[in-house]
Structure formats: structure tokens, C-alpha cells
Amino acid sequence: MVFLTRVEHFNAAHKLSNPNWSKEKNEEVFGRCANENWHGHNFELFVTVKGEPDPETGFIVDAKWLSKVIKDQVIEKLDHRNLNLDVDFMKGKMCSIENLVTGIWNELRPLMPPAIKLHCIKLVETPRIFVEYYG
Amino acid sequence: MERKVAVFRREHFNAAHRLHNPAWDDAMNERIFGKCNLPNYHGHNYELIVRVAGVPDTQTGYVMDMKLLSDLIKRQVVDRFDHRNLNLDTVEFKDLNPTAENIVLVIYDLLRKEIDIKFDLKVTLYETPRNFVEYPA
């Protein structure tokens, strides 16, 4: 079994705010991340798939194909967007990186060909904060 | 001979912005600024490198106390811009397009007024790991 990781990136705005809570409660729980006019990040996305190298190509998957799928299905929806307002798969969810990483997983998982499995998605919000999801 | 040494302090802030010229129509803004003009804002992890150069003081051995430099950057820059929307939440960019170029000039001016004129000041601002600007050029 070989693991292959493709790294992509996107820049986006978001805020952490629970619409069922008061402004004070949101500020108490989420601090500056609750700023009503948004803030933003440079996100780095690591998509890891696993499989056996194909005897004909030596690839577990064509990395160019994987890159295109990630760009078309995920980056296109997220890059230079407002994650709370603009992204269909985040509608009605809290815009934490925990929820974002599972949302990205759900977008990509059905698109993987039978020969490979989605293994891990790592989402880096800042150089000091990141999450990983293994399904 | 007095020898100058440069000291550097790195800080960071996360902010939302959009690039937009209110004097242009939507089509022109979109053509010039592309995705950076999208109406609901996007954002960045800004990394800031402040360079102060001068002759080390004979008593302390310091060019400038790095703790004081750090406190100054936090007070003048990070507290002002971190977790803000540069277009909506700051007076500095109320009527100024928050490009990396304009942000570095604003930061330079905020710091320059509080750093002794005997020191050289240079500010480098990373908007992404791949785009960065520097002033003075």
C-alpha cells in the first residue's frame, strides 16, 4: 500500500458565530473569531489517498487527475470566498475547520475511483493550527 | 568605526479584505481585481517582518529592545488588524484599497512614528506564502 498526498491551497474569509446565541455569548466562546465582519486565512489542504501502484503506470492514481478533481470540486467553491455565505456544503453548519474538513471529505469521497481510497484530509488554517480527518 | 546591525521581529495577523475601487463599475472591478473583488470578502494569514537597523548601544548591547519592538508591533499593528475586516473595521482602509502594497505603507507609517529616527526601518509583509511586499523599496 502506498500513500500519495496532493497539496492545494485557498484563501477565504469566515467567522465563528452560532446564530442561536447572543452576540455576548458568541464573543465569550469564540473571542475575536466571532468578529461580525469576518476575518480570513490562507488555508492549505493536504489530500492523501492510498492504493497499490498500477503495474502498467506505476501510479496509484494520476496525481494530475487528483489535483484537477480537488481544484474543480473543492478549491473552486472555497477560494476567495466567504465560507459562511458562499459555500453550498457549509450552509447551516458552524464554520470551524473541524466542520470544513469533514465537508471537504464528503465532497471528495464519492469521486475516488475504485482502485484508491481516500485516507486523510489535513486542513491547515494557520501555521500553528491544523486538523486531520480519516473518515 | 560604528557598525550597524539589523534586528528583525516577526509577527502575524489574520484578516478579511476585498479589493475594490468605488470609482469603477462592477465589470471594471472584476476585470482588474478578479476573485479578489468577490463581494463577500476573503482573507489571509498575514506575516509581518519588521527590520530595525542601527548601531548597538554601548551600555545594553542592543540595537533596540526586542520586547519593546514586539510590544510596539502588537499595539500598533496586530491589535488594530488581527481578526478584522480591513475594509469595514479599520479607519486606515476606509478610503484606501487594502492591497498588500497599501497595507505595508500603512504599517510602516504606524511604526515609523514610534521608532527613533536614528534607526533604519524596513517592513516586509507576506499576504500568502507566495506573495509578499517590502517598504522602503
Q: What is the pLDDT of residue B73?
A: 98
The rounded distance, in Å, linking the Cα atoms of A118 and A69 is 13
CB B29 within 8 A of CB B20: yes
Give the nearest chain A residue to B87 (CA atoms): A37
Instruction: With beta carbons less than 8 A apart as the criterion, state whether A105 and A133 touch.
Output: yes
Q: Look at chain A and count its residues.
A: 135
Domain residue ranges in chain A:
2-8+43-133
pLDDT band for position B90 (50/70/90)? very high
The predicted structure's pLDDT at residue B13: 98
What is the pLDDT, as a whole number, of residue A126? 95
Whole-complex ipTM: 0.83
What are the CA-CA distances from residue B32 to residues A33, A75, B27, B29 (Å)?
A: 30, 21, 9, 5
| pTM score | 0.90
Closest CA to B81 of B89, A12, B49: B89
Percent of chain B with pLDDT over 90: 99
Which residues of chain B are within 8 Å of residue A39 when distances are taken between CB atoms? 14-16, 43, 82-85
Q: Distance, in angstroms, between A96 CA and closest chain B CA?
A: 15
Please state, in angstroms and as integers, the Cα–Cα distance from residue B83 to each residue in A76, A83, B31, B48, B97, following that order. Answer: 24, 15, 28, 15, 18
Q: What is the pLDDT of residues A2-59, one digit of tens each?
A: 999 999 999 999 999 999 999 999 999 999 999 999 999 999 999 999 999 999 999 9
Give mean pLDDT, residues B73-85.
Answer: 98
Does residue B1 have a pLDDT over 80?
no
B17 flagged as catalytic = no
| Architecture in CATH for domain A2-8+43-133 | 2-Layer Sandwich (3.30)
What is the predicted pLDDT for the residue at B34? 97
Does any CB of chain B come closer than 8 Å to the CB of residue A126?
Answer: yes
Q: What is the pLDDT of residues B10-61, one digit of tens each?
A: 999 999 999 999 999 999 999 999 999 999 999 999 999 999 999 999 999 9
Average pLDDT over residues A111-129: 96
Q: Is the pLDDT of residue B91 over 80?
A: yes
Virtual torsion, Cα A63, A64, A70, A71, nearest 10 deg: 150
Identify the pLDDT of residue A2.
97
- CATH fold of B5-135, please? Tetrahydropterin Synthase; Chain A (3.30.479)
Measured between its terminal Cα atoms, the distance across chain B in Å is: 27
Report the alpha-carbon distance of residue B91 to residue B82 in Å, rounded. 14
Listing DSSP states for chain A in one string gives -EEEEEEEEEEEEE----TTS-HHHHHHHHGGGG-TT-EEEEEEEEEEEEEPPPTTTS-SS-HHHHHHHHIIIIIHHHTTEEHHHH-GGGTTS---HHHHHHHHHHHHGGGS-TT-EEEEEEEEEETTEEEEE--
> Rounded mean pLDDT of chain B?
97
Quick check: B92 and B107 in contact, CB under 8 A? Answer: no
> Which pLDDT tens digit goes with each residue over A78-115?
999 999 999 999 999 999 999 999 999 999 999 999 99
The predicted structure's pLDDT at residue B64: 96
Interface touch B42/A14, C-beta < 8 Å: no
Domains of chain B, by residue range, sit at 5-135
Q: Does residue A80 carry a catalytic annotation?
A: yes
